[in-house]
Chain A
């Protein structure tokens, strides 16, 4: 069993953890009531005072906070500290809808670094490792999040970022990368690139991989492991509550340990919002317990999972969540980019030649996840073949730019997807996870 980065916290008895969570919940509620008008209004409307939060059950009286609530307060409406105390900003990317922005104080960044250091340590990554970070750097949280965590554990960090697959392979060869960090589709993409370039995976030094930011399952895990010759671990995080490091598998690979000293986690019925008992699958809802700049109460993720607080052989006492493979909505997550069908619909409105129906089809091909967008042609006017080809190309360019993701577009017959008596699903996820 490998080391534990922060044993005092990661193995604390659950009774002590509950006490710590209660203390932190109450101080968070006291601060957001004072500093975040959104939450002050929410509590006032619910007839709650900060001192009414005497237990975790009281938290359930508060409505859930949604992505839309964050968008409505863009950019700084939900910050709990003045901007002069913020030292980093990250933002959601690749969507046409209003973006969201998340801020971090110095203490927030230190906590985040500690969380990622825990995750890396749990997967057996240490100071001897050469860590290649293939997540995108920039506004997206995964690149920087893993970067500082990997530095904290003393590993040698290669901040290669995403893209340029041949360069990625070259670095893995030259720098003798032992730990690969990125999306699972990048993992498959790399495997394919090795084949194409004639590189024998046995000639590489890869030992371990941490993958996330996309849904993936055991089939993909096995394929990545067999083709890259490494042990692949699942990690989970979302930028709204801080980025990567929210939960991670340990070497037992029996669920992802949630950093419960920093987050209070509920599983709710996505329809009713009712809290579900342990073990039941439902939507993950997070309350941040230590965030200074961007605290959130009961933030609904759209991710479906179940919780397990039974003891884990690794010694960590934090609850484990099941791997996320489904969502409550028809949001597609590809290469770390969230694609909402509503946003596609909005983008298509710029084209008077197209009809109302469209369909997003996600496939996992050998190299990576690919997105195909089927778009109905409008009923009138008749278009020549070259005009149709031009329209198809214009749509592809426009959607690629607004969604921030490479994709293909295929035009289909009018009313073939949507008509008064027919309604095809807007999203088909054919990726076998």
Chain B
């Protein structure tokens, strides 16, 4: 259970700088258990930087970051994974020489070390059932999969760690629209199974359609937040990110 009054994840006034440039200028956000929360915005707005700060890849210059009521500030990336946060980085990064099955097992690395063999086997079957295309190709090297299948594999591998919170960075980037649609459907299904997701997407319309709430980032700041349906109705969001011009909105 969560400590009283705590969201699963909570960021307060987080600032991150690299190469001398402040990429996050005081971001506050929270994710409650069972929610899908979208971070949307243009390239360079600070979306991926936010995920990398949560994962411990980038250090904070200032601010607070709590997960399950414990501070994440100053923790190493592997400690953060052990706490229950798994990130699926942009560009999928599956091990192309290894089979689909071995890729999935890699995701449960920490659990295998803890000798949770039965649990891992159970999850493996559950995930293969969720992704029938991966099941068909379970013995194929991951490098032979299509882009969409590799993305599913990357998500499946992350789920093998049984994360309390899944961070998805641009899961549909570079995918054909139909494949992107499949990926987002998968994400919506994950929520039904109780997975909590912080989703970064350039495809604002699609991500807000699967998310419960969203934050709109611009140049390292949150300029709008709220339930997805409200953001979709905000004409600033429509104009800036849905590619509609004045006549249409």
Contact of B13 (CB < 8 Å), options: A22, A30, A84 = A22
Residues of B within 8 A of A107 (CB): 226, 230, 233-234
Q: Does residue B92 face the partner (Cβ distance < 8 Å to A)?
A: no
Q: How far is the CA of A23 from the CA of B217 in the complex (A)?
A: 12
**Of A16, A106, A110, A290, which is within 8 A of B5 by CB?**
A16
Distance between B102 CB and nearest chain A CB, rounded to angstroms:
41
Which residues of A21-53 have CB atoms within 8 Å of chain B's CB atoms?
22-24, 26-27, 30-31, 34, 50-51, 53
Closest Cβ of chain A: how far from B93's Cβ, in Å? 31
A13 at interface (Cβ–Cβ under 8 A)?
yes
Residues of A within 8 A of B157 (CB): none
Q: Is the CB of B223 within 8 A of A31?
A: yes
Residue on A with the closest CB to B63? Answer: A54
Q: A19's contact among B4, B7, B230, B233, by CB below 8 Å, is which?
A: B7
Q: A23-B29, A54-B62 are in contact. Are A13 and B226 (CB under 8 A)?
A: no
Does B162 sit within 8 A of A, measured CB to CB?
no
| Given A19-B30, A23-B29; A51-B221 close (CB under 8 Å) | yes
Chain B interface size range = 20 to 34
Candidate in A20, A105, A107, A290 with the most chain B CB atoms within 10 angstroms: A107
Pick the residue among A50, A84, A106 that contacts B233 (CB under 8 A).
A106
- Contacts A14-B5, A106-B233 known; A27 to B225 CB distance under 8 Å? yes
CB distance from A217 to the nearest CB of B (A): 35
Given contacts A19-B7, A55-B13, A85-B235, contact A26 B28 (CB under 8 A): yes
Chain A interface size, as a band, is 20 to 34
Chain B, interface SS category = strand
Contact A15 B5, beta carbon cutoff 8 Å: yes
Residue of B nearest to A289 (CB): B225
Task: Give Cα A13–Cα B233 distance, bound, in whole angstroms.
Answer: 28
Shortest distance in angstroms between A7's beta carbon and chain B's nearest beta carbon? Answer: 15
Q: Which of B195-249 contact A (CB under 8 A)?
A: 215, 218, 221-226, 230, 233-236
Closest to A85 in B: B235
Q: Chain A's nearest CB lies how many Å from the CB of B215?
A: 8
Which residue among A16, A19, A20, A31 has the maximum number of chain B CB atoms within 10 Å of its CB? Answer: A19
A379 CB, min distance to chain B CBs, angstroms: 61
Residues of B within 8 A of A225 (CB): none
Beta-carbon contact of A26 and B10 below 8 Å: no
CB distance from A81 to the nearest CB of B (A): 8
The answer to whether B26 has its CB under 8 Å from any CB of chain A is yes
CB proximity to A under 8 Å, residues B23-43: 25-26, 28-30
- Is B96 part of the binding interface, using a Cβ–Cβ cutoff of 8 Å? no
In contact, A13 and B13 (Cβ under 8 angstroms): no
Contact present for B4 and A13 (CB under 8 Å): yes
* B28 and A13 contacting across the interface, CB-CB below 8 Å: no
Determine the distance from Cα of A110 to Cα of B225 in the docked complex, in whole angstroms.
15
Q: Which of A16, A23, A31 contacts B6, CB < 8 Å?
A: A16
A384-425 vs B, Cβ < 8 Å mask (1 yes, 0 no):
000000000000000000000000000000000000000000
5 A-B residue pairings within 8 Å (CB atoms): A13-B4, A16-B7, A16-B30, A23-B28, A26-B221
A13-B4, A13-B6 are known contacts; what are 10 more A-B pairs with Cβ within 8 Å?
A: A15-B4, A19-B7, A19-B30, A22-B13, A23-B28, A26-B13, A54-B63, A81-B235, A107-B234, A292-B234
B interface list, Cβ under 8 A from A: 4-7, 10, 12-13, 15, 25-26, 28-30, 62-63, 215, 218, 221-226, 230, 233-236
Residues of A with Cβ closer than 8 Å to B? Answer: 13-16, 19-20, 22-24, 26-27, 30-31, 34, 50-51, 53-55, 81, 84-85, 105-107, 110, 290, 292
Minimum-distance CB pairs A-B, first 5: A13-B5, A15-B5, A54-B13, A51-B25, A51-B26
